[in-house]
Amino acid sequence: MLTPKMLQALNDQLQAEYHSSYLYLSMAARCADLNLPGFAHWFRVQVQEENVHALKFFDYILLRRGTVELKGIEKPTGSWPNALAVFEDALKHEQYITRRIHDLVKLAREANDPATEALLQWFVTEQVEEEAMVDGLVQQLKVMGESPSGLFIMDRELAKRQLGAQ
């Protein structure tokens, strides 16, 4: 059985994962507005990933006989002038989610809840991968600057992303 504090924290993370999905959908729309369909596709795949993450929390709460509390999702904030700004904000968001996951691990340890800690270890590893992937794209965008040919090539590469493939 989950402690009330752990249950609340897991429900809060469930909401955060759905907010991530909504934020990335907003970023996909902005990339489409920038005429970068491959970038938009990359973010749409990210939306699917975040939904998978949310459902992991959803299913885990139910598995532990907790009550799922679906909360409202805030409107994403952000106005991005270019692809670099979009990905820089995506990186900041991933770093925020990483901090949240680390806080959950700490809470699970304090609650002596090894089952929840085991679940969270998957997310710890996932966040290392997420941050590295987005940071790599930020660094590529910084190197190429506003090069139209560089953006075109990168757009074509990002269009190839599939769910589960980093």
Are residues 24 and 71 in contact, defined by beta-carbon separation less than 8 angstroms? Answer: no
Query: Do the domain assignments include residue 8?
Result: yes
Count of all residues that appear for the chain in the document: 166
**Per-residue pLDDT tens over the stretch 31-70:** 999 999 999 999 999 999 999 999 999 999 999 999 999 9
Q: What is the mean pLDDT of each run of 10 residues along the chain (166 residues)?
A: 96 98 97 97 98 98 98 90 97 98 98 98 98 98 93 96 76
Query: Do the domain assignments include residue 166?
Result: no
Q: Report the CATH number at residue 117.
A: 1.20.1260.10
Query: Do the domain assignments include residue 165?
Result: no
Query: Do the domain assignments include residue 52?
Result: yes
User: How many structural domains is the chain composed of?
Assistant: 1
Single-letter residue type at 13: Q
- Return the sign of the alpha-carbon dihedral for residues 32, 34, 38, 41: negative
Query: Do the domain assignments include residue 163?
Result: no
User: For the whole prediction, is pTM greater than 0.85?
Assistant: yes
Domain carrying residue 113: 4-70+79-158
pLDDT score for 166: 54
pLDDT score for 19: 98
Are residues 54 and 17 in contact, defined by beta-carbon separation less than 8 angstroms? Answer: yes
Are residues 39 and 155 in contact, defined by beta-carbon separation less than 8 angstroms? Answer: yes
